[in-house]
């Protein structure tokens, strides 16, 4: 339309963008996005959106179970809220610091909130998965303790730990 070469215009735009930065200043880095496991997102959304789910699942979800979560601060704040009365997204948001708020908004925006029955079903499935993962980690830890005791020649402890390992493995098989 103006009769100017497209390449020339693009070069000028690139040069202008580069010149706007102060000398020695690099381009701003984008904040790396935190990868939030789906199980945490689903469970948190279910707990926020359903009072029935909070009553059923909340007591079965101790802090020790969520300590390894990326979003453990959100679950800790949510765990304390029923004592203060009504639970809502806004109240949870108010209890968090800036990083927690950003994480909460990202987690809640990622999923749609379903009805009460669907929330409870999803939360039950998440809790079952978390419990199984926790049990597997405990079994792995127990195996490591057995190996250490074997290397150190503590036979009585090895026998006790093997009995505990057998009990835990039977528990996994029952589920």
pLDDT in tens, 127-138: 888 888 888 888
pLDDT given at position 56: 86
82 backbone dihedrals φ, ψ, rounded to 5°: -60, -30
In sign, the C-alpha dihedral spanning 171, 172, 174, 175 is: positive
For the chain, residues with pLDDT lower than 70 are 1-4, 8, 18-34, 82-86, 109-115, 175
Burial of 168 (0-12, 13-18, 19+ CB in 10 A): middle
pLDDT given at position 22: 53
In sign, the C-alpha dihedral spanning 145, 128, 106, 52 is: negative
pLDDT given at position 86: 67
Q: How far apart are the first and last CA of the chain?
A: 72
In the structure encoding, which two tokens stand for residue 56, read together? 């059923």
Q: How many CB atoms lie within 10 A of CB 140?
A: 10
CA 79 – CA 87 distance, rounded (Å): 10
Q: Are 57 and 46 within 8 A, CB to CB?
A: yes
CA distances from 53 to 67, 80, 148, 150 (A): 20, 15, 42, 45
Q: Which pTM does this prediction carry?
A: 0.61
Q: Are 72 and 66 within 8 A, CB to CB?
A: yes
Three-state secondary structure call for residue 27: coil
């Amino acid at each position: 339309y103006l009769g100017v070469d497209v390449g020339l215009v693009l070069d000028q735009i690139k040069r202008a963008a580069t010149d706007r930065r102060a000398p020695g200043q690099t381009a701003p880095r984008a904040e790396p996005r935190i990868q939030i496991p789906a199980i945490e997102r689903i469970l948190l959304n279910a707990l926020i959106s359903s009072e029935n789910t909070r009553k059923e699942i909340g007591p079965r979800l101790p802090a020790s179970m969520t300590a390894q979560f990326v979003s453990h601060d959100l679950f800790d704040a949510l765990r304390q809220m029923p004592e203060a009365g009504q639970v809502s997204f806004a109240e949870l948001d108010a209890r968090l610091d800036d990083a927690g708020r950003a994480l909460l908004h990202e987690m809640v925006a990622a999923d749609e909130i379903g009805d009460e029955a669907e929330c409870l079903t999803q939360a039950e499935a998440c809790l079952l998965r978390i419990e199984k993962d926790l049990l597997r980690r405990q079994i792995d830890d127990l195996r490591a303790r057995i190996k250490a005791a074997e290397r150190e020649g503590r036979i009585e402890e090895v026998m006790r730990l093997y009995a505990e390992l057998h009990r835990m493995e039977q528990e996994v098989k029952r589920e």
